[in-house]
Amino acid sequence: MKPFTEFHSRVPVFDTSDRHLLICADVLYPRSMAGTLDSKLNPLLRRKRVIRTRDLASLGLPRTALETPLADGRISRLSHGVYAVAGHDISEHHSLAQAAVRVPHGVVCLLSALVFHELTTQTPHEVWLAIDRKSRPPAEGYPPLHIVRFGGEALKAGTALHQIDGVPVRITTPAKTVADCFKYRNKISIHVAVEALRDGWARRRFTMDELWAMARVCRMENVLRPYVESLA
């Protein structure tokens, strides 16, 4: 029987369009291919705390590249296509990072934004996320999401990008969050909106100009006016 190396030397160059040869490569080179996968995958695992299968595409890796780190505990599955990387400390707002990975075009808003800005005593069990009115709702997964539809300028104005556990997360600013809370007061209660307004103003989390600018975006000037006047 000829040595394995001699047999390999007769194997033709692999073509990604040839399914049979790809299968042969998996059989003949399990160790070398695993080493190649790790050399590309490990920098990603060191850099990010939460990854999605689509992150592999930019590295030219197949989805099956996650099978080994999943089996040996380097990553854990959070939901469909979303994985947490072991060995990283996570913050108290980790669920916001997970939500941003699931829905990159979403904006953390309302109760979840209030918690992030420390403007409420509420503890929502869902991540409140704003998406465009025309966007498809995200599939079910973890963390659970409370989807709110914003349109046009209401979705774009008054947002800031924060880095949470290595993930860029768009969150409404304190002023925009307060204006949104008054707009959606029937969903979260007027008491929560008023608490956020008073606490935010007392702690100088926004200026009055910022608040009125966001009130105009949300068309909440008339609703907010009596509550703002009571702050004096």
From the number of C-beta atoms within 10 Å of its C-beta (0-12, 13-18, 19+), residue 26 rates as exposed
pLDDT score, position 172:
98
Distance, in Å, from the CA atom of 108 to the CA atom of 209, rounded to the nearest integer, reads 22
Q: Where are the domains of the chain?
A: 4-85, 94-229
Strand partners, 145: 127
pLDDT score, position 217:
96
Distance, in Å, from the CA atom of 76 to the CA atom of 53, rounded to the nearest integer, reads 13
The predicted model scores a pTM of: 0.70
Strand partners, 147: 129
Q: What is the pLDDT along the chain (232 residues), one digit of tens a residue?
A: 444 444 343 444 444 444 433 333 333 334 445 566 677 788 888 777 777 777 887 788 887 888 888 888 888 777 667 777 876 667 789 899 989 988 999 999 999 999 999 999 988 999 999 999 999 988 888 889 999 999 889 999 999 999 988 789 999 999 999 999 999 999 999 999 999 999 999 999 999 999 999 999 999 999 999 999 998 6
Distance, in Å, from the CA atom of 96 to the CA atom of 128, rounded to the nearest integer, reads 9
pLDDT score, position 88:
67
What contacts 170, CB < 8 A, 6 or more positions away?
A: 100, 106, 107, 108, 159, 160, 161, 162
Find out if CATH 1.10.10 is the number for domain 4-85.
Answer: yes
pLDDT score, position 80:
67
pLDDT score, position 69:
84
pLDDT score, position 65:
81
pLDDT score, position 34:
54
